[in-house]
């Protein structure tokens, strides 16, 4: 029964609940398994830097006082790292918070937002909520980015172009050459938002830093980063945006809630940036395990997308939701993809060596 006097806007009715999957505890209780490999949410199996444990002996004062609403220390640190001004950095309660802030600030009814597809659902949801329209640029047959279609979408001058690079859920990426083509083709009226949630995993020759490439482009741009993935702080909720200029950034600051990032998250992010060794360890062990998993899955006959991320996108050749349910019975959490055209795919996070073996073992019962 729908409530006839519900005050909810029809745009909100069009949005599906966030598919966050099950918690470890829910899986243990529901499926009666002791060992659970949680490979559905791209969390870091190593967790945060070990220095975190010693950081908050005096949590009392930290908890009692409001956090710095500007997060000055962290913004200054990030600005220095990226070679931008302090007023070009905005903090979010996770980068997902900033996706909402940007959409609230920019998207008007009937505006178009172009994005890569299959997409990160939140990129679409907040646009829908604001009454905007989505234009999807679907990956090619070989699961790489369709540059021709992307450039055609850009030529139609969308209000916003927002996509992740590397691309969640696929793992593939825009090379420096291709990102340059995108930037060159942009209309001045299009805001480009590059979500670099997995940049730390992807960094290297074949992968561009969007901030570096956009800096002198004259475009309006935002690059989003997060501490949830390679830095292992998903539970603390902190991410940030680097913005083309201080004026634009100031508006995003007005559109967010004033205390959107808490003190513990701000301090932990600073500590995370100081522990380069832990980041390197996380990235390297993920790369090694990703290669091992990829080889094993291909040997089993599965088709997988190229990935620079801490996950693999796997064509299971059958309804992924059913397979994911069966894997839960073996204590493995993966993410079955539900978007049209990709219902046979699962996205599997690269976990610890043991978790990955647990997944491969469970999958053996469902051969290709």
Ligand X SMILES: *Cc1c(COP(=O)(O)O)cnc(C)c1O
Question: Closest distance between ligand X and the C-beta of residue 21, in Å?
Answer: 13
Give 168 or 220: the residue with its C-beta nearer to ligand X: 168
Out of 49, 112, 228, 330, which residue is the one contacting ligand X (CB under 6 A)?
A: 228
Stretch that binds ligand X, among 82-90, 94-102, 183-191, 206-214 (CB under 6 A): 94-102
* Closest CA relative to residue 236, chosen from 34, 88, 92, 344: 92
Please give the residues from 230 up to 249 whose contact with ligand X meets the rule CB under 6 A: 234, 239
Give 308 or 331: the residue with its C-beta nearer to ligand X: 308
Question: Closest distance between ligand X and the C-beta of residue 54, in Å?
Answer: 24
Question: Closest distance between ligand X and the C-beta of residue 120, in Å?
Answer: 4
Please give the residues from 115 up to 154 whose contact with ligand X meets the rule CB under 6 A: 120
Question: Closest distance between ligand X and the C-beta of residue 239, in Å?
Answer: 4
E strand intervals along the chain: 37-38, 89-92, 112-117, 133-138, 160-164, 191-195, 220-226, 239-243, 303-304, 311-315, 332-333, 335-336, 345-349
By beta-carbon distance, which residue lies closest to ligand X? 94
Q: Is 197 in the site for ligand X (CB under 6 A)?
A: yes
Do strands 239-243 and 89-92 pair parallel, antiparallel, or not at all (unpaired)?
Answer: antiparallel
Q: Is 94 in the site for ligand X (CB under 6 A)?
A: yes
C-alpha distances (whole Å) from 10 to each of 16, 75, 106, 125 are 12, 37, 19, 13
Stretch that binds ligand X, among 92-100, 204-212, 341-349, 355-363 (CB under 6 A): 92-100
Could you tell me if 192 and 220 are in contact, meaning their C-beta atoms sit under 8 angstroms apart?
yes
Q: What is the DSSP letter of 147?
A: H
Site string for ligand X, 34-63 (x = CB under 6 A): --------x---------------------
Cα 45–121–366 angle (5° rounding)?
Answer: 60
Question: Closest distance between ligand X and the C-beta of residue 211, in Å?
Answer: 16
Could you tell me if 79 and 240 are in contact, meaning their C-beta atoms sit under 8 angstroms apart?
no
C-alpha distances (whole Å) from 361 to each of 77, 121, 328 are 44, 30, 13
Measure the CA–CA gap between 78 and 82, rounded to whole angstroms: 6
* Closest CA relative to residue 199, chosen from 165, 233, 236: 165
Out of 125, 195, 200, 355, which residue is the one contacting ligand X (CB under 6 A)?
A: 195
Stretch that binds ligand X, among 150-158, 173-181, 228-236, 315-323 (CB under 6 A): 228-236
Question: Closest distance between ligand X and the C-beta of residue 164, in Å?
Answer: 4
Q: Residue 166 class from Cβ within 10 Å (0-12 exposed, 13-18 middle, 19+ buried)?
A: buried
Could you tell me if 323 and 362 are in contact, meaning their C-beta atoms sit under 8 angstroms apart?
no
Please give the residues from 307 up to 326 whose contact with ligand X meets the rule CB under 6 A: none
Question: Closest distance between ligand X and the C-beta of residue 4, in Å?
Answer: 35
Cα 195–333–344 angle (5° rounding)?
Answer: 75
Q: Is 266 in the site for ligand X (CB under 6 A)?
A: no
Q: Residue 84 class from Cβ within 10 Å (0-12 exposed, 13-18 middle, 19+ buried)?
A: buried
Judged by the rule CB under 6 A, the positions of this chain that interact with ligand X are 42, 94-96, 120, 164, 168, 195, 197, 226, 228-229, 234, 239
């Amino acid at each position: 029964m729908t409530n006839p006097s519900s005050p909810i806007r029809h745009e909100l009715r069009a949005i599906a609940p966030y598919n966050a999957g099950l918690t470890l505890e829910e899986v243990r209780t529901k499926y009666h398994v002791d060992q659970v490999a949680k490979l559905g949410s791209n969390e870091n199996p190593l967790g945060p830097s070990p220095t975190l444990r010693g950081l908050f002996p005096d949590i009392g004062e930290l908890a009692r006082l409001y956090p710095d609403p500007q997060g000055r220390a962290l913004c200054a640190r990030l600005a220095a790292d990226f070679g931008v001004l302090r007023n070009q950095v905005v903090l979010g309660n996770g980068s997902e918070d900033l996706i909402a802030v940007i959409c609230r600030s920019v998207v008007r009814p009937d505006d178009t937002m172009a994005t890569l597809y299959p997409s990160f659902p939140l990129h679409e949801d907040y646009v829908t909520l604001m009454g905007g329209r989505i234009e999807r640029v679907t990956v090619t047959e070989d699961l790489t980015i369709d540059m021709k279609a992307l450039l055609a979408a850009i030529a139609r001058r969308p209000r916003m172009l927002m996509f992740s690079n590397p691309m969640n859920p696929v793992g593939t990426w825009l090379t420096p050459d291709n990102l340059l083509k995108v930037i060159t083709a942009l209309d001045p009226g299009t805001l480009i938002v590059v979500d670099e949630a997995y940049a730390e995993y992807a960094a290297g020759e074949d992968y561009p830093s969007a901030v570096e490439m956009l800096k002198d482009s004259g475009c309006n741009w935002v690059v989003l980063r997060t501490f949830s993935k390679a830095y292992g702080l998903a539970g603390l909720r902190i991410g940030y945006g680097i913005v083309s200029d201080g004026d634009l950034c100031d508006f995003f600051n007005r559109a967010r809630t004033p205390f959107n990032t808490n003190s513990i998250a701000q301090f932990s992010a600073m500590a995370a940036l100081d522990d380069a060794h832990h980041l390197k360890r996380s990235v390297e062990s993920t790369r090694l395990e990703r290669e091992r998993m990829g080889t094993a899955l291909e040997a089993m006959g599965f088709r997988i997308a190229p990935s620079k991320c801490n996950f693999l996108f796997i064509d299971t050749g059958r309804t992924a939701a059913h397979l994911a349910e069966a894997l839960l019975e073996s204590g493995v959490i993966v993410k079955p993809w539900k978007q049209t055209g990709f219902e046979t795919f699962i996205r599997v996070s690269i976990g610890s060596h043991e978790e990955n073996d647990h997944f491969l073992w469970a999958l053996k019962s469902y051969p290709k």
